[in-house]
Amino acid sequence: MSLGLVGNMSQYKLIYFDFRGRGELSRLLFALAGQEYEDVRFKREDWPAEKDKYIFGRVPVLEVDGKQYGQSMAIANFLAKRFGFHGSTEVEVLEVDQVLGIVGDILAAMGRAFMEKDEGRKAEIVKENTETNIPRFLGFLETVLKNNNTGYYVGDKLGYADVAAFDILFAAGVEQRFEGRFPLVKANFEKVKTNEKIAQWLAKRPQTPIYATAYRRSQNKASRRESGTYSTRAHITIMPTYRFRYFDYKAVGELSRLLFALAGQEYEDVRITYETWPSEKPNTPLGQVPVLEIDGKPFSQSSAISRYLARTFGFYGNGDLEALAVDQVLGVVQDVNTFMRDYHKEQDEAKKAEFLKEAKDVKIPLYFGMFEKLLKNNGSTGLFVGKKISIADVSLFDICDKTTEAMLKMEDYPLVKKCCDNVAANPKIKAWVEKRPVTAF
């Protein structure tokens, strides 16, 4: 390993399987920072003996001075902030998170193919990814680069967004798909690949399979700064104007509305119907909603938007380690949202019933068990981090609010219920819930 950053005396240990997968982005960030760390790897067959050693019983895990943290994107976010790759202003961090949202879309598309057991259905998913999904997401990235006009996704130097995009595109094996269609994405990819520190890591890292090995095989068959927090004081004298555009239901837009409510922040709540969507779509950055306009400038990706609002309004913990703890919760929330989205999108009633059974028997106990553990770790506060409501608590409230009793029995998870009750009892949240439009979901 290379020498660590001057002045950063923390001891780091990254624990993951002996392949790239969800751990490689963090390894790339360590490499780019020139930060020394212990790269702990183990074989799949050794996992049963290792599992109980780690938080949530899964990896990757980052140890910072001996304390464990889970969730791959929470870890990468923390490292990017600590090493100075996550944007220098709140808006730049929002721009980074916007790219991370697109990266997450690519990862989700790959994951659906990777996890599908039925070979016929797998081939269909890979075909859809190859012909439609991946090119669409690459188009989004191309648009972001075109708008920034520096060769980088954010600012004018290589940062977290560039490395995250490089990592997922490398894993997806899309270099051959550039073919002149996405010249800016290709040029950015090459900037990362040829960066001196990244190139050294690529040359010396263990030659292991990547996360998408099975995906690619099927494809062939189918042919903030170091503190991690951002003060809202800069907005006391000049407060931005906000305009939030989304469909007339909760889904992935409600978390942002709840954060606006919790902050007591005025904004324009623009609700789109399916009838008006065709005329609205061309006026969005990526052809999708939600969109947050800040003083007229639009930003996309629901997670990027809600994280920006939480940072701006002071709901993201105090210090980089609390921000990491928040992101850890948001990673689990994202897992819940992913299977909930698949459940609601499924049209076949028989498959929908299978989804419901898996949710009740497997998914809900798994993820809500994680929530219980994290809440217990924070003592008797009834909150995930510290003694103040954060985006972590509001996110849990939001998903519980949108989950039916047929899937989730709140009495089975007393700490989750206590946390949700704490959020619901907040006067500003309570006022919003009572007055917001009543929608199906």
Mean pLDDT of 4-12: 63
Label residue 80 left, alpha or beta by phi (over 0 means left) and psi (-120 to 50 means alpha). alpha
Mean pLDDT of 308-336: 93
Instruction: Give the pair of three-digit tokens for residue 389.
Output: 């409501």
Higher pLDDT: 22 or 225? It is 22
Higher pLDDT: 174 or 28? It is 28
* pLDDT band, residue 342 (cuts 50/70/90): confident
Residues facing residue 300 across a β-bridge: 291
Q: In 10 A of CB 290, how many CB atoms?
A: 25
State residue 4's pLDDT score. 39
In angstroms, the CA 327 to CA 392 distance is 8
Predicted confidence (pLDDT) per residue in 304-319, tens digit: 999 999 999 999 998 8
3-17, 90-104, 302-316: segment of lowest average pLDDT: 3-17
Q: Is the pLDDT of residue 215 over 80?
A: no
Instruction: Give the pair of three-digit tokens for residue 266.
Output: 């005025």
Residue pair 386/254 in contact (Cβ under 8 Å)? The answer is: no
For the chain, percent of residues with pLDDT exceeding 70: 89
HSE at residue 282, side-chain half, CA atoms within 13 A, is 2
Strands (E), 273-361: 291-294, 297-300
In angstroms, the CA 48 to CA 58 distance is 10
103-117, 221-235, 243-257: segment of lowest average pLDDT: 221-235
Higher pLDDT: 326 or 209? It is 326
Residue pair 100/51 in contact (Cβ under 8 Å)? The answer is: no
* pLDDT band, residue 38 (cuts 50/70/90): very high
3-class SS of residue 245: strand
Predicted confidence (pLDDT) per residue in 50-88, tens digit: 888 998 888 999 999 999 999 999 999 999 999 999 988
State residue 130's pLDDT score. 82
Residue pair 83/37 in contact (Cβ under 8 Å)? The answer is: no
State residue 237's pLDDT score. 33
Pairing of strands 67-70, 242-247: unpaired
Average pLDDT, the chain: 86
3-class SS of residue 208: coil
Q: Is the pLDDT of residue 352 over 90?
A: no
Domains of the chain: 12-82 (3.40.30.10), 90-222 (1.20.1050.10), 227-441 (1.20.1050.130)
Residues 6+ positions from 139 with CB-CB distance below 8 Å: 182
Residues 6+ positions from 279 with CB-CB distance below 8 Å: none
* pLDDT band, residue 415 (cuts 50/70/90): very high
Residue-wise burial string across 27-37, b where 16 or more C-beta atoms lie within 10 A, e elsewhere: bbbbbbbebeb
DSSP 7: T
In angstroms, the CA 198 to CA 183 distance is 21
For the chain, percent of residues with pLDDT exceeding 90: 59
Angle between helices 72-82 and 160-172 (to 10 degrees): 140
Residues facing residue 125 across a β-bridge: none
Burial status of residue 368 (CB atoms within 10 A of its CB: 0-12, 13-18, 19 or more): buried
Mean pLDDT of 266-295: 91
Q: In 10 A of CB 147, how many CB atoms?
A: 10
In angstroms, the CA 100 to CA 103 distance is 5
Predicted structure pTM score? 0.73
Closest to 140 measured CA to CA, from 25, 287, 253, 283: 287
